[in-house]
Amino acid sequence: MFDKILIANRGEIACRVIKTARKMGIATVAVFSDADRDAVHVDMADEAVHIGPAAASESYLVIEKIVEACRRTGAQAVHPGYGFLSEREAFPKALADAGIVFIGPNPGAIAAMGDKIESKKAAAAAKVSTVPGFLGVIESPEHAVAIAEEIGFPVMLKASAGGGGKGMRIAHSKDEVAEGFARAKSEAASSFGDDRVFVEKFITQPRHIEIQVLGDKHGNCIWVSERECSIQRRNQKVVEEAPSPLLDPQTRRKMGEQAVALAKAVGYDSAGTVEFVAGQDKSFYFLEMNTRLQVEHPVTEMITGIDLVEEMIRVAAGERLRFAQDDIQLKGWSIESRIYAEDPTRNFLPSTGRLTIYRPPAEGAIDGISVRNDTGVEEGGEISIYYDPMIAKLVTHAPTREAAIDAQSRALDAFAIDGIRHNIPFLTAIMQNPRWREGALSTAFIAEEFPEGFQAPEPVGVVATRMAAVAAWIDYLEAKRKRTISGQMLGRALHVSRERVVMLEKQRFDVTVDERPDGVVLIGFSDGSTVPVASDWRPGSPVWEGSVADVAIAVQVRPIVNGVFLQHQGASAKAKAFTAAEARFVELMPEKKAADTSKQLLCPMPGLVKALMAAVGQEVKAGEPLAIVEAMKMENVLRAERDGTVKAVHAKEGDSLAVDAVILEFA
Amino acid sequence: MKDILERLEDARAQARLGGGERRIRAQHERGKLTARERIALLLDEGSFEEFDMYVQHRCADFGMQDQKIPGDGVITGYGTINGRAVFVFSKDFTVFGGSLSEAHAQKMIKIQDLALKMRAPIIGLFDAGGARIQEGVAALAGYGEVFARNVKASGVVPQISVIMGPCAGGDVYSPAMTDFIFMVRDTSYMFVTGPEVVKTVTNETVTSEELGGASVHTTKSSVADGAFDNDVEALLQVRRLVDFLPANNTDGPPEWDSFDDAERIEHSLDTLVPDNPNKPYDMKELILKVVDEGDFFEIQEGYARNIVTGFGRIEGRTVGIVANQPMVLAGVLDSDASRKAARFVRFCDAFSIPLVTFVDVPGFLPGTAQEYGGLIKHGAKLLFAFTQATVPMVTVITRKAYGGAYVVMASKHIGGDVNYAWPSAQIAVMGAKGAVEIIFRQDIGDPEKLAARTKEYEDRFMSPFAAAERGYVDEVIMPHSTRRRISRALAMLRSKEVDEPWRKHDNLPL
């Protein structure tokens, strides 16, 4: 076994690999760019080597720098993580030349699977099911219909030279094939100057299901269950799970055996993933093979108990696989959510900045329900523009799919991140989605379920009741302390009414608040129901955790003027608690029109415009940077004070501006 | 006997109606509450004890003798905010537009006198048309007496004014002499002379909002200390502020049990100051992570944002926080920032509220606008205020502390009791580049030499250690332990006593 390995990666996956190496008693070496000087993976590793500027092309992607870092530190092997150099054939070769072991497959396997056409050929040769179709030249509409009938409807007519959806057409019947063929041909000719068209089976409502395989250098290879990754946004996976709600044991075994056949055919000798597209009828077809550790590997680990990184290291060191196929047992269900630094309410625009608050939920297992958070950032860390915006993978495991989803939802509710925008509200909303809960998935799930994008809904039903109860509980806790302030006039208890009105935005809840001797607070609602609330939450904490009506829940809490902003299960609302008298006055208050003041961004100081981030017609959100003005040798970021649309831009980069010069105007 | 009691009830009922249902409705339609409703919101439920409900004016001119409404346009009395006594007057716009008569002024004066005797805060709610002109000089005399008491109470009991409607002419000067002014957005304005007069005298055409609305006074004039969206929000926030304030200048700040740990460690503060010295960061993150429960009541949030002032608590006791804000103008001290902070420091000192100062200041702002505007005198105000303060003072330098601005920001030399610096602190006369270009002027043509000199200067002065060697900072502390350090320093300083020589008063450079 190795004494020391280097991890040629950053962020959560570097931390993930370091954890396992440490568990195995192997010393670790991290590499870092200028932007990652203070990163978590650098702190975690036993040693760290600086490998250059922030841009990955000058640091994490430079093979010589990694090899040099190994030489300097004496690392005997390199784990590539995913991304960066993990699937570059040249990397293991360069390492081998330097006498360093690559913790991953042999270069031949990477090469064989790296090419889309070659890999399909290899798959077909290994009798792996591939998408039925006719790759030859089709002569006539009749020929096309004949092929389509052989494949089965629906089919897709595709321009051989095409791409990006152009020259593609779906046909559900003979007539549609005949008609579509002519049009596809002429479209192909005009778009690509090549009128060749081929026919392929079209999979409606496709699902993405992949098989984890594990091989060693002694010719052994097994499959380690599947993962379903159908929840994607623009081909980027968002939520993954294992096992797949679609598969039955027979299909699972068929897929697994085909995956192993393919892996064996290319001499695969590490952890890898064979990706399939599956139809709702459980038909499945080979897509591609990823010759590395997948981002979503934790869900497999959770249901099999196998540490895939450990097995990768062991087989890389020449050990034989420790498991036979029959040793692999699936236990329970696991869900993973990818936490991205992106704004779900603004078309998932990436967000960068300082993590002023980053408090993931507690990890560990309680009553058969586990929470695991694979992360590479910490509070006070910086999300930079240079790398992938994924900041954490939140994984839950429970005996059933439903319990795993509930645990995921609760863990997401308990995850506090401030300073950047992130997709947790969106992920939480997915967890509540009935179609997701049924497991009726397809890769179009997000596009179909969130056609207008995502806006956090106002709370309704039980979520609203819970929020109202939590708001009343917080108000009660704070009011109780206020009554203990020093310097009171009468020296006897203040009269405080047990009646409260909680406003969740415009929803009104008339409640009574009573504390039981055991500290549990009873919130009585006007429909006669009484909700016991208990928590050890204290002001200043961003996450309220406790029980409401005997259900353990977490609610995000942020202070606002005279109240709190609450988020729970994807919904959000401003919550304010009033006395009955106050509530009467609140009702008299007029609704505020959108602020009337300044529709202009003024230069707050004499300075030089270093950058303008807003263009005419652009929609901006409050807090979004609009311009950078340099003054006193300092860069000042000017941010939008409220949401709006840019009407006109009056300055340009390089302008020297006086105080109150108009930089841009809002509509 | 019972019928006598009933007569009293009738008289009360009539007084409570003020200017009548129609005017109350009109008030509501404008989005405003009535004077009584405001008091009900401000004070603990049922705690209001009213005075002078039946007072009427004594004017006999211009037909006023036929128009008398009990209360005469102002409601006065006392009550409690979380059990602590406060005195209140609330202008009743439904009665003669809230205008000030001689009798109206006498009601205010009674409250002011009593508050001063009882050493309890005075809160005034303004929504009025100014002097009752039918009364002529009698009304002016009333103003004068109110003003005199504002001044007498200044520095003895906290005085808070909330502008919740018009406040013009003579009415503006009573709030102007109180400690804090808050305004309600869109429904309140304050000016000495209104738009009509402005038009006649200067030919300027302005609206009331443009002349003296909340946004003007919170961002341009600095007359107001904060603004809120409506009456309810404003009054509930005044309650929150009062929880921070001492009742008077001898009792010391109020206390309650903190839910927060005085020794709380904040690891994220270790990365707050960016590696690049020209990159700003948000000083408010430090403030929110240092004070109890992240609860910070900011004063003058919208004005001179290059300095942050406000109240927080450490271990359940109020502290005043003054902090340079690198996010705005690099945290430079200019005239506006100096005046804003000076006034805040003097309030805290007057009322025995300890001061915590966070320093990241590149210096005073250069330029003709500043010099012509009297930067020397305004900067001196802050220097004077900090120097004169005798309350416990704890100072933490996070990054830059350059030149005269270093001295001004509660340095050891002017009375800082406990002065800490983060390892990222740079305490120097100026930045390294500028300093080297002066000291080694002869090397300006030689960039290589200059770079070497700059490095030399940086190594010597761009750290807290040159100051620590001389004892100007007491310790270089880890950023993550800032709250713990401040808590302990303030605990030690609780018994601080300073003897000052007798003087009538100082001569602050006004």
Say if residue A492's pLDDT is above 80: no
- Which one has a higher pLDDT value, B408 or B203? B408
- Which one has a higher pLDDT value, B110 or A653? B110
Helix (H) or strand (E) holding B102: helix B102-118
- Which one has a higher pLDDT value, A394 or B462? A394
Inter-chain contact A562–B41, Cβ cutoff 8 Å? no
Inter-chain contact B45–A579, Cβ cutoff 8 Å? yes
Substitution target from A383, A536, A585, A637 for chain B, most B beta carbons within 10 A = A585
| Shortest Cα–Cα distance, A497 to chain B (Å) | 9
Residue B420: helix, strand or coil by DSSP? strand
The residue-averaged pLDDT of B385-412 equals 97
Indicate the average pLDDT of chain B. Answer: 94
Q: For position A102, what pLDDT does the model report?
A: 97
The residue-averaged pLDDT of A625-649 equals 79
Chain B residue with CA closest to A583: the answer is: B232
The residue-averaged pLDDT of A638-643 equals 81
Q: Which residues, 6+ apart, have CB-to-CB distance to B93 below 8 Å? A: B19, B23, B27, B32, B34, B35, B127, B128, B129, B165, B166
Chain B residue with CA closest to A634: the answer is: B278
Inter-chain contact A631–B247, Cβ cutoff 8 Å? no
Inter-chain contact A489–B85, Cβ cutoff 8 Å? yes
Query: A399 touching B, CB under 8 A?
Result: no
> What letter does residue B213 receive in the DSSP assignment?
B
Inter-chain contact B256–A592, Cβ cutoff 8 Å? no
Say if residue A597's pLDDT is above 50: no
Residue B498: helix, strand or coil by DSSP? coil
Return the closest-CA partner of residue A59 out of A90, A29, A35: A35
C-alpha–C-alpha distance, residues A410 and A432, integer Å = 11
Instruction: Cite the active site residues of B.
Output: 169-170, 404-405
Query: B367 touching A, CB under 8 A?
Result: yes
| Shortest Cα–Cα distance, A635 to chain B (Å) | 6
Return the closest-CA partner of residue B126 out of B80, B71, B88: B88
- Which one has a higher pLDDT value, A120 or B183? B183
Radius of gyration of chain A (CA): 29
Chain B residues touching A496 at Cβ < 8 A: 45
Inter-chain contact A378–B268, Cβ cutoff 8 Å? yes
Buried b / exposed e along B160-191 (16+ C-beta atoms within 10 A) = bbbbbbbbbbbbbebbebbbbbbbbbbbbbbb
Say if residue A596's pLDDT is above 60: no
| Shortest Cα–Cα distance, B9 to chain A (Å) | 22
Return the closest-CA partner of residue B436 out of B455, B416, B419, B415: B455
Q: Which two tokens stand for residue A374?
A: 């694979």
Inter-chain contact B33–A484, Cβ cutoff 8 Å? no
Q: For position A167, what pLDDT does the model report?
A: 62
Chain B residue with CA closest to A38: the answer is: B271
* Range scoring the smallest mean pLDDT among A31-40, A583-592, B324-333: A583-592
Could you read off the pLDDT of A511-553 as tens digits, one per residue? Answer: 999 999 999 999 999 999 999 999 999 999 999 999 999 999 9
Over pLDDT 90: what percentage of chain A?
69
Could you read off the pLDDT of A456-471 as tens digits, one per residue? Answer: 899 999 999 999 999 9
* Range scoring the smallest mean pLDDT among A17-26, A642-651, B310-319: A642-651
| Shortest Cα–Cα distance, A540 to chain B (Å) | 4
Q: Which two tokens stand for residue A205?
A: 């409502």
The residue-averaged pLDDT of A88-99 equals 94
Residues 584-643 of A with CB under 8 A from B: 585-586, 588-590, 592, 596-598, 604-606, 631-637
Inter-chain contact B231–A589, Cβ cutoff 8 Å? yes
Chain A residues touching B251 at Cβ < 8 A: 487
Helix (H) or strand (E) holding B173: helix B173-176
Contact yes or no for B299/B345 (Cβ under 8 A): no
Catalytic status, residue A179? no
C-alpha–C-alpha distance, residues B495 and A90, integer Å = 71
- Which one has a higher pLDDT value, A135 or B434? B434
Could you read off the pLDDT of B39-95 as tens digits, one per residue? Answer: 999 999 999 999 999 998 888 888 888 788 888 999 999 999 999 999 999 999 999
C-alpha–C-alpha distance, residues B320 and B346, integer Å = 10
**Phi–psi pair at A5, nearest 5 degrees:** -125, 155
Could you read off the pLDDT of B133-173 as tens digits, one per residue? Answer: 888 898 999 999 999 999 999 999 999 999 999 999 889 99
Helix (H) or strand (E) holding A448: helix A445-449
Residues in chain B, overall count? 510
Could you read off the pLDDT of B197-237 as tens digits, one per residue? Answer: 999 998 889 999 999 999 999 999 999 999 999 999 999 99
Could you read off the pLDDT of B450-501 as tens digits, one per residue? Answer: 888 888 888 888 899 999 999 999 999 999 999 999 999 999 999 999 988 9
Inter-chain contact B330–A632, Cβ cutoff 8 Å? yes
Residues 236-255 of B with CB under 8 A from A: 236-237, 240, 243, 247, 251, 254-255
Contact yes or no for A6/A69 (Cβ under 8 A): yes
C-alpha–C-alpha distance, residues A132 and A441, integer Å = 23
**Given pLDDT bands bounded at 50, 70 and 90, which one contains residue A630?**
confident
Helix and strand numbers, DSSP H then E, in chain B = 19, 17
Inter-chain contact A482–B37, Cβ cutoff 8 Å? no
Return the closest-CA partner of residue A199 out of A240, A159, A244: A159
* Range scoring the smallest mean pLDDT among A1-10, A265-274, A655-664, B118-127: A655-664
Residues 111-170 of A with CB under 8 A from B: none
Contacts 24+ apart (CB under 8 A), B454-458: B457/B432, B458/B432
C-alpha–C-alpha distance, residues B341 and B379, integer Å = 10
The residue-averaged pLDDT of A326-338 equals 96
Q: Which of B251, B282, B329 sits opposite A605 (nearest CB)?
A: B329
Indicate the average pLDDT of chain A. Answer: 91
Could you read off the pLDDT of A26-65 as tens digits, one per residue? Answer: 999 999 999 999 999 999 999 999 999 999 999 999 999 9
Q: For position A156, what pLDDT does the model report?
A: 83
Could you read off the pLDDT of B345-362 as tens digits, one per residue? Answer: 999 999 999 999 999 999
